[in-house]
Chain A
Amino acid sequence: MSNINVTTYPEDKIFEESGYDDHFYEHHHGDKYQSSFIGHYIFSMDHKMISKQFLITGIFWAIIGAAMSVIFRLQLGFPEESLAWLKPILGKWIVVNDAGIGKLAPEFYYALVTMHGTILVFFVLTAGLSGTFSNLLIPLQIGARDMASPFLNMLSYWFFFLAGVVMFLSLFVSTGPFAGGWTAYPPLSALPQASSGSGTGMTLWIVSLAFFVVSVLLGGINYVTTVLNLRTKGMTMWRMPLTIWALFITAIIGILSFPVLLSGFFMLMFDRGLGTSFYLNDIFIGGEALDRVGGSPILYQHLFWFLGHPEVYIIILPAMGMVSEVLAVHSRKPIFGYRAMAYSIMAIAFLSFIVWAHHMFMSGLNPFISNFFVVFTLIIAVPSAVKVFNWITTLYGGNIRMVTASLFAIGFVSMFISGGLTGIYLGNSTIDIQMHDTYFVVAHFHIVMGVAAFFGMFAGIYHWFPKMYGRFMNETLGRIHFWGTLICAYAIFWPMHYIGLAGVPRRYYDFSTFDAFKHFEDLNKFITIAAIIAFGLQILFVVNFFYSIFKGKKLTTRNPWHANTLEWTTPIEHLHGNWPGNLPVVYRWAYDYNKDDREYVPQHIKLNENEVDNH
């Protein structure tokens, strides 16, 4: 990296002189619980190792979830082509007709769509994203030895792992995995006679997600406690990097909203197994009138979306925080409007709790109630707009290093704009009458919380990979990955706006039944081809990731990006307790880039005489 006035700061010496002695090493002689293979790599209590566990598990699920989307995209893009070649993997779910054309069974198509959503939303973009980076960055960036409770932190991962095992098993049950959509609306999800996937597949689905909620709560409590209690000396709240602000608020949202989902899930379990009627009323199915009255399917929707909406911010806020950090570091400028950024995270988080019913405008909700939800929903556009303007202004006047991490961060801003703006259409109940449950919605949320969150995650991975593994990821492959993904992501989701504007509903296995929906074969083919290429590019990323862990270019200095935050003051080799001696003491905010003649001034550097901290 080429820069003027490149200073390197002798961290160890500084910490020895002005660090804070927390007597850590007097208590932990020999670091016993990391000494064995199992203790170090499997049941690890070290936040850096747990972070890697979350990331690699997330990558595993991302590959499965993405592969599923490729299979159902093949059905949508090439309904006439035979999928018989998938029979060795999918078995009876490929139905081969007399002419030898193999087609995906409709119930399995819906199972794939459902699993794709569940896996990506929960396992990849919640656990894989905030699990990874909360673990990695919270202790390192606030100057803590580890999480407040390393044990709960370990449990958090293993509950996630357990959730994964149960979900994975559900893929192989004979009645198929759950197929009622990732939102699992009853009565479809409550009654096995309504869909074959609502049998054992659904039982496993809901058990898996119950474990998952436990994982999120254990993790979240830990993150919040750690940020509140374990910040090092001088690390006031207003000196925290925006990554920490984002991860901190994310954890709070998770703690407040996931229990509501869990209670909703429990009632669904009772309806399924114990004969209660929380969500059931007046149902005639399978030739009989059910003896289950008095409940309301709408109640479930309220409980689900009370999590479901904050959930999209649980997904996007960590990405926003990381993008803020990556953009500031690589444009060599302070993040523009630091306080506004933090306040807008808080505003978004607060608003995220009072907008849930905008998913339910057309569910039979009293139209009067929708008025409030429209107002609050569209207010979110204001803090979101502030964030976008601040990111763009952060680039203005910078000296931007075009590394893969910063490219992905720029791509994130583009995706967030494109996907965020379509939210203004959908949040307006009047337009939502027509747009609800069409491909326009699919385009909107995939761009704004799918692709954008992935871009934020990639920015984070490329940026902090050296911190995680002591090596760089390959830049050339990274750039191919970025450009390919940027182009493919838009190629996949942009045309979906048009399909949606033509009125085509989402979750259709086949469009040929309807005259109004069947004239988009070309677009659907185009989308499918783009999706296949995008999938290939993500495999490229995975190859690069694992190759670089072992063979990537080695890190020679602690602070390769010349960043100001504390994680870059730790030794390249990970050690338990993060800092070999004293803890760093913080004297300034995280964004003193090109403040004076110094190109960057890390947080642990004392203020000069007459120098004012800028936050």
Chain B
Amino acid sequence: MTFIVLIILALIVIITIQIGRISDLATKIRGEEVANEQQNNRSALGLLIFLVVFLVLCIGSAWYYKDVMLGYGPLTSASEHGFLIDSMFNWTLFFTGIVFVITHIALFWFSYKYREVRGRKASFMAHDTTLEMVWTLVPAVVMAFLVVRGLVDWNKIFDAGKNGEGYIEIGATGYQFAWDIRYTGADNKLGAKDFRLIDPATNSLGLDWKDEASLDDIVLGGSDVIMLPVDTLVKMRVSSKDVLHSFYLPHFRVKMDAVPGMPTYFTFKPTKTTEEFRQELRKYPEWNEPYDPSDPESKPRWKEFNYELACAELCGKGHYSMRRIVKVVSKSEYDSWLAGQKSFYLKNIRGTENDPHKDELFPFEIENRKKELTAEFDAKANPETALAAGEDIIILKHVFYNTGSAGLRDLSKHELDNVVSLMNKYPNVKLELRGHTDNVGDDDLNMKLSQERADNVYNYLVGKGISDSRLSAKGYGETMPIGSNDTAEGRQENRRTELRIISK
């Protein structure tokens, strides 16, 4: 095989050399002058033909492909500032197009017209000040126009969001080879992050949970669609964990490098929802072809169309694969989608060992717990509700003790205060306070601990003015588990303090 290839290559070399030699011989036979003149005319004519074919193909192919180019056909900008870019492109196209055609015609036509003719004398024309001034000044004026126009637009694009118009912030962090996307949550602020806090398993962005703004931040799953609200200014905060990346949304004319250690941003306003864009595409026949060419039954391309996020800065071997789908929806759809998202912290961090706030309760948690407890109490303490055995128990989820001891932690106060006010609301209610432990350790000690804990709750409530006749306290130790003692979660459930409604 290799041998054959080598022979073929050698043959090609020999043939080309022979072509050269034969043409040399032919020149000699015909006489050098005649041959040269013929060659000269042929080359000049070649240039002229090239000019015509070249210009026709340039303009023709541009026309043929215009519908796949952004800014033409259906692929107009999907963002507000994108139209500035597209219009700047068209102005430049207009001027450069004229120059391109005129200079090419002049170049090739002069080459043809002034090809060597025996006996003709070239004209001695060294320079012409007027002409040179004209063709210095005309480009200068055109350039000035393009520069001024371009810069006005450029500054407009980067001033977006600086005039007081509200915007939402979204964070995009690139890494080899994907993007982490983060939404702000209700405070419209992205929390602080620090690369030293990154833990691929629990905190891939290195969000700083000590920063309150981080706590409600929403981090999308690896393949979740990036949602954007239409007609809303979006400030993309772009960053990188490792090497350079570039946040590139072609349909929105958005591009910004992601630089480790240097946060960047790009502010833009999507103006067409994905659905609206699809409807535009639908009018073009090529977008009605099947999405999968090998499967004629597949949906038409326009139905499958999605905005896409790509990486535009070489970042390693997977550079070409950093794709995410972007979906633009109406503001209301966006709001309800966002409301349905749980913050990364609450979903994955709250209460775990990585949670620096595990010993505190957030105001909203206290608020929510109050509502929850009140609702449960209202339902169960209502004299008209008949309670079956076991249904008369309310678990005090926010009563906490110091580890291994019976001392009540301050954190428990709000829960117990709620109990106080509820008992005042229902003056006939009598309660048994029940302490429970898990099965770790000595049975008798557990029994004692649970009794002490129940007693401490009892004392707190009495101290707040509840009559001791309405309360009793009893420790049950490990005798009444509600979860499995084999798992940490189960043991956690079993360590609890309850109210049992004895009468109402």
Contacts and interface: CB of A to CB of B under 8 A. Distances in A.
Contact of A392 (B75, B106, B260, B316): B106
A191 interface: yes
Interface in B146-182: 146-147, 150-151, 153-155, 157-158, 175-176
B39 A418 contact: no
Contact of B259 (A284, A364, A507, A543): A364
Contacts of B68: 498, 502, 519-520
Contacts of A33: none
Interface stretch (A208-216, A221-229, A247-255, A376-384): A376-384
A283 B47 CA distance: 56
A399 B255 CA distance: 51
A274 interface: no
B319 A507 contact: yes
A196 B68 CA distance: 36
A434 interface: yes
A284 B320 contact: no
Interface in A310-343: 331-334, 336-340
Contact of B107 (A179, A187, A392): A392
Contacts of B225: none
Contacts of B70: 434, 501-503
B80 interface: no
B153 A430 contact: yes
A188 B243 contact: yes
Contacts of B17: 543, 547
B261 A282 contact: yes
A281 B154 contact: no
B124 A334 contact: yes
Nearest to A521: B293
B126 interface: yes
A228 B306 CA distance: 62
B246 A336 contact: no
Contacts of A418: 100
A67 interface: no
A297 B244 CA distance: 8
A298 B264 CA distance: 12
Interface string A524-545: 0000000000000000100110
Nearest to B35: A475
Interface in B1-45: 2, 13, 16-17, 19-21, 23-24, 27, 33, 36-37, 39-40, 42-44
Nearest to B142: A381
A280 B200 CA distance: 21
A560 interface: no
A151 interface: no
Nearest to A183: B314
A591 B126 contact: yes
B125 A397 contact: yes
Contacts of B46: 483
Contact of A188 (B126, B315, B323): B315
B356 interface: no
B19 A293 contact: no
Contacts of A476: 19-20, 23-24
Given A414-B104, A430-B153, A508-B319, A498 B62 contact: yes
Interface stretch (A161-169, A264-272, A420-428, A452-460): A420-428
A51 B425 CA distance: 102
Interface stretch (B84-92, B399-407, B470-478): B84-92
Interface in B405-456: none
A363 B260 CA distance: 12
Contacts of B323: 513-514
Interface string B351-379: 00000000000000000000000000000
B92 A428 contact: yes
Contacts of B151: 371, 374-375, 429-430
A194 B259 contact: no
Contacts of A78: none
B460 interface: no
A385 interface: yes
Interface string A25-44: 00000000000000000000
B246 A4 contact: no
A422 B54 CA distance: 17
Interface in A161-185: 179-181, 185
Contact of B125 (A378, A388, A393, A400): A393
A311 B142 CA distance: 27
Contacts of A293: 261
A424 to B, nearest CB: 6
Contacts of A107: 317
B36 A4 contact: no
A505 interface: yes
A498 B115 CA distance: 35
A195 interface: yes
A415 B125 CA distance: 25
A2 B36 contact: yes
Given A476-B19, A594-B124, A402 B116 contact: yes
A582 interface: no
B23 A4 contact: no
A401 B261 contact: no
Contacts of A332: 116, 122
Contacts of A179: 317
Interface in B240-276: 241-244, 246, 248, 250-251, 253-257, 259-262, 264
Interface stretch (B132-140, B226-234, B330-338, B387-395): B132-140
A238 interface: no
Pick from A185, A424, A477, A479 the residue with the most CB of B within 10 Å.
A424
A581 interface: no
A378 B154 CA distance: 15
A195 B316 contact: yes
A106 B315 CA distance: 12
A375 B147 contact: yes
Contacts of A295: 261
A509 interface: yes
Given A375-B147, A483-B46, A508-B320, A431 B123 contact: no
B257 A363 contact: yes
B386 interface: no
Given A4-B119, A336-B127, A540-B16, A514 B308 contact: yes
B120 interface: yes
Interface string B281-323: 0000000000000000000000011101011111111111101
Pick from A398, A413, A479 the residue with the most CB of B within 10 Å.
A398
B155 to A, nearest CB: 7
A425 B147 CA distance: 11
B310 A505 contact: yes
A479 B120 contact: no
A607 interface: no
A367 interface: yes
A338 B127 contact: yes
A7 interface: no
Contact of A433 (B42, B253, B304, B305): B253
A437 interface: yes
A362 B256 contact: yes
B260 A338 contact: no
B195 A283 contact: yes
27 contacts: A180-B314, A185-B314, A188-B315, A280-B260, A289-B195, A289-B196, A295-B261, A332-B116, A362-B246, A362-B256, A363-B257, A364-B259, A364-B262, A379-B143, A395-B114, A397-B123, A399-B120, A402-B40, A407-B43, A407-B47, A425-B93, A475-B39, A511-B320, A514-B310, A543-B16, A544-B20, A547-B20
- Closest 4 pairs between A and B when the two form their complex, measured CB to CB: A281-B261, A503-B250, A476-B23, A402-B43
Given A283-B261, A362-B257, A437-B255, 6 more contacts: A2-B116, A4-B118, A4-B121, A283-B242, A363-B259, A498-B62
